[in-house]
Amino acid sequence: MPNGAALDGAAPIEVRALSKRYGRVVAVDGVDLTIEAGDVFGYLGPNGAGKTTSLRMMLGLIRPSAGSVRIFGRDPQLSVTALEGVAGFVEAPCFYPYLSGRRNLELCAALDGLHSAVVTRIDEVLDTVGLAERAKDKVRGYSHGMRQRLGIASALLRRPRLLVLDEPTTGLDPAGMRDMRELVRDLATRGITVLLSSHLLAEVDELCNRVAIIRHGRIAYEGSLAELRRTAGLSYRLRTTDDQRAGTILAERGDITHVGTDSGGVLTFKVVDEPVVGDLSRALAHAGAGVLELSPRHATLEDLFFQLTEDGSGAPGDRVAEVAGAAH
């Protein structure tokens, strides 16, 4: 296959055993992940976990120490044409502050050889990101959020199939964050696969269908948010007229796990399937332990993130298994 040739049906990004060493320091350690067409894929990790380093390797900006990256089936280390159909930015986008937003985009288009379509395409992307009315203003007068949107506009000039956004809402006020989320949703509806690196967990929870969580340079979890929550199970609080008897019933049931109490002394437990709770209610009533409170607590992405990334004795694979046993 020629270096720049794409494979039909290949995943937008496929990474296998990706590693990066700086002397004795291992920044990225055997990362495996796959981003499928149509994903809005969240890439999460605490500071220093190897997130930005692995993103740079995925885009061919730095050379891996070991492992492989394929973008639509192509190796970005072998040819710059492997990045055809890919656009975005890692860290903050940069522009000439003394030029207008439109002029900056014209220069970007020229560098990409888009001369024949410059005028109509620039108008289109400026309108998409909501900067049409500020196109003639110099970038030095743009807010941080406007510069972020201009960065996305420059990426959209390439008509990408894969858009990589590294912390696109960092430094934005609440209105700017809302506008950026709406823009990402709009791009996803247009069939663009989005790789979103962010430390804002609520944002990822709202936008993404699949995530990867990196910890100490290794992937602690990759998959759908729905599956991550299912693995974590459902937590419940229970108060009854006879908590001692209720605690005994909980402990005797094989379909209920992690029976305990919270800081207020209220009974807590976990189940995998909601129908178990109905059976439990009937058993409590039959035993004379009247239910005063039976309330669910679904694990948030923040709960799950900290369970997978905070230091513990287990390896990353062990931490995934431990998700089912935490977060009361």
First-to-last alpha carbon distance for the chain, in angstroms, is 52
Is residue 319 scored above 50 in pLDDT? no
Give CA–CA dist 182/186, Å, rounded: 6
CATH assignment of the domain containing 263: 3.30.70
Q: Are residues 198 and 243 in the same domain?
A: no
Give CA–CA dist 320/158, Å, rounded: 38
The whole-number pLDDT of residue 69 equals 94
- Domain end point (choices 208, 226, 244): 226
SS3 at position 298: strand
Is residue 126 scored above 60 in pLDDT? yes
The answer to whether the Cα torsion of 177, 182, 186, 192 is positive or negative is positive
Q: pTM score, two decimals?
A: 0.74
324 within domain boundaries: no
Q: Residue 39: exposed, middle, or buried by beta-carbon count in 10 A (0-12, 13-18, 19+)?
A: buried
Q: Are residues 208 and 275 in the same domain?
A: no
The whole-number pLDDT of residue 118 equals 59
pLDDT, one tens digit per residue, over 280-316 is 999 999 999 999 999 887 667 777 777 777 754 333 3
Q: Are residues 45 and 111 in the same domain?
A: yes
Q: At what angle do helices 144-156 and 118-128 cross, to 10 degrees?
A: 140
321 within domain boundaries: no
Rounded to 10 degrees, what is the CA torsion of 239, 244, 245, 248?
100
Mean pLDDT score, 204-230: 87
- Domain end point (choices 226, 255, 274): 226
320 within domain boundaries: no
96 within domain boundaries: yes
Structure tokens that stand for 19 in this block: 């590693």
Mean pLDDT score, 126-131: 90
The whole-number pLDDT of residue 201 equals 82
Give CA–CA dist 74/84, Å, rounded: 10
At 277, the amino acid letter reads V
308 within domain boundaries: no
- Please state the domain count of the chain: 2
| Closest of 327, 242, 253 to residue 291, by C-alpha | 242
Q: Are residues 36 and 152 in the same domain?
A: yes
Q: Give me the domain span that covers residue 269.
A: 234-298
CB-based contact 68:84 (threshold 8 Å):
no
Q: Are residues 221 and 263 in the same domain?
A: no
pLDDT, one tens digit per residue, over 179-201 is 888 888 988 998 999 999 887 78
Q: Are residues 123 and 160 in the same domain?
A: yes
Q: Are residues 267 and 167 in the same domain?
A: no
Q: Are residues 110 and 184 in the same domain?
A: yes
Give CA–CA dist 35/222, Å, rounded: 10
CATH assignment of the domain containing 55: 3.40.50.300
pLDDT, one tens digit per residue, over 236-284 is 899 999 999 999 999 999 889 889 988 888 999 888 778 899 999 999 9
CB-based contact 71:83 (threshold 8 Å):
yes
Q: What is the DSSP string of 65-122?
A: SEEEEEBTTB-TTT-GGGGTTEEEESS-----TTSBHHHHHHHHHHHTT-GGGHHHHH
